[in-house]
Amino acid sequence: MPPRVIVRIEVTKQARDEIDRLTEKLGMTYLSIHSRLVEWLSAQPDQIRAAVLQHFPAKVKGDIARLILKNMRGSRASSNSKAAASR
């Protein structure tokens, strides 16, 4: 296993309470939930990261999901047509 790094985070009391409920429900530790979330987020494309972190202007907030899905469909269609052409 590659070396691991310990990162400290700060969350609100409400967030901590919700995560505590989640740890009980899933039988996971607090650390394992946070590790998986950070690993998942770090592997996402920039568009997904920006949406999850709400790193975009408020005036386009309503359009973000639609734009991301449109781009993802376009990427998937492009990948599918390339795969079909190679057969």
Q: Which two tokens stand for residue 62?
A: 């309503």
Q: How many CB atoms lie within 10 A of CB 86?
A: 6
What are the boundaries of each domain within the chain? 1-43, 56-87
Question: Across residues 20-41, what is the average pLDDT?
Answer: 94
Q: For the whole model, what pTM was predicted?
A: 0.62
pLDDT, position 50: 85
pLDDT per residue over 32-84, tens digit each? 999 999 999 999 988 888 888 888 777 777 787 788 788 888 876 665 555 56
Q: Which phi and psi angles does 12 have, rounded to 5°?
A: -75, 165
Buried b (16+ CB within 10 A) or exposed e, 59-82: eeeeeeeeeeeeeeeeeeeeeeee
